[in-house]
């Protein structure tokens, strides 16, 4: 998809990070904007920034099926079928996998996985219907996963599980769409450490899924993630440009840090050679040593 003028973009997590930067590029390309976020003040600020453009702004918890269904209805009534759906809203959580409470699983999987599920199940039929009516109509769905969806870094299992599921969902979506149409495409975004605010996503955690007092491993995970993300050299704006480049080129995989694919290759070789998982810290053993010492101490 290369023609964006007058088309419609639905963006979840639009109040900050990748969502906000993608919205800026979509606006610059003349698109109608559907902005969704669970944080009202961030959503209001984003909507005000794009006041000169056709905008529909909705406070939506993407984990809630009824809220996403109401969003889809509102989009259809205001703009018709969207041409670009960016299922982007996400939250982060870490710690040793057996130490995560049920509420951790419900929160992270609810947003990171079910938010994408709802976006796909609601907007894909609308897009296919529009394509069936107009042979020139084009659409694209981009789901935000993570390099954690291609790897399994330790001490962040709940997040890994959610993002692996998004990669699987997206790959299947790509194949399923190819069976029925050439007019609607799909991509998966797998960013590495990019400053977006996701490390502070607990600010929007629902009260009914409140967290227990963090364990030692969860505090260690938070500190390590904060450090890695804050040191990231790529910006959310850089990644947003990659999203549009991928749509222009009809490219499925979007990697912010292609150098990280070396670790993906190692993981796949582990599988193919039936060998035990490779130490993720083999190239930086001092980091692994400090983590083991912290957890065992």
192 is catalytic: no
The answer to whether 238 and 18 have CB atoms below 8 angstroms apart is: no
Regarding pTM above 0.85, the answer is yes
Distance between CA atoms of residues 62 and 70, nearest Å: 11
Distance between CA atoms of residues 109 and 120, nearest Å: 15
Rg (CA), the chain: 19
**Structural tokens at position 84:** 């670009």
Domain boundaries, the chain: 8-256, 261-297
List per-residue pLDDT tens for the chain, 297 residues long: 789 999 999 999 999 999 999 999 999 999 999 999 999 999 999 999 999 999 999 999 999 999 999 999 999 999 999 999 999 999 988 999 999 999 999 999 999 999 999 999 999 999 999 999 999 999 999 999 999 999 999 999 999 999 999 999 999 999 999 999 999 999 999 999 886 666 566 777 778 877 778 888 988 888 888 777 777 789 999 999 999 999 999 999 999 999 999 999 999 999 999 999 999 999 889 999 999 999 997
- Where does the chain show beta strands of DSSP type E? 8-12, 32-37, 55-59, 84-87, 139-144, 184-190, 253-255
Distance between CA atoms of residues 105 and 158, nearest Å: 6
Tell me which CATH code domain 8-256 carries: 3.40.50.720
Tell me how many degrees the CA angle 144-149-152 measures, rounded to the nearest 5: 150
């Amino acid at each position: 998809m290369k023609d964006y003028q007058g088309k419609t973009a639905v963006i979840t997590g639009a109040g900050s990070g990748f969502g906000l930067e993608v919205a800026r590029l979509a606006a610059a390309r003349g698109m109608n904007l559907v902005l969704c976020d669970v944080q009202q003040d961030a959503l209001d600020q984003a909507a005000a920034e794009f006041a000169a453009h056709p905008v529909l702004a909705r406070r939506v918890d993407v984990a809630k099926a009824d809220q996403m269904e109401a969003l889809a209805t509102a989009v259809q009534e205001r703009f018709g079928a969207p041409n670009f759906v960016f299922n982007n809203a996400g939250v982060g959580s870490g710690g040793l996998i057996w130490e995560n409470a049920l509420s951790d699983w419900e929160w992270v999987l609810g947003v990171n996985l079910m938010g994408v599920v709802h976006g796909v199940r609601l907007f894909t039929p609308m897009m296919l219907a529009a394509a069936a009516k107009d042979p020139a109509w084009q659409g694209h769905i981009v789901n935000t996963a993570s390099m954690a969806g291609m790897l399994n870094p330790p001490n962040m299992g709940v997040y890994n599980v959610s993002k692996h599921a998004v990669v699987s969902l997206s790959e299947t979506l790509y194949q399923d769409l190819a069976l029925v149409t050439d007019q609607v495409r799909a991509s998966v975004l797998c960013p590495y450490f990019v400053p977006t605010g996701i490390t502070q996503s607990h600010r929007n955690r629902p009260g009914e899924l409140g967290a227990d007092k963090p364990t030692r491993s969860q505090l260690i995970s938070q500190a390590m993630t904060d450090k890695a993300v804050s040191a990231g050299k790529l910006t959310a704006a850089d990644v947003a440009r990659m999203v549009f480049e991928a749509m222009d080129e009809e490219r499925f995989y979007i990697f912010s840090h292609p150098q990280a694919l070396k670790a993906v290759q190692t993981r796949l070789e582990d599988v193919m050679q039936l060998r035990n998982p490779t130490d993720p810290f083999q190239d930086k053993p001092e980091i692994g040593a400090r983590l083991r010492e912290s957890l065992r101490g």
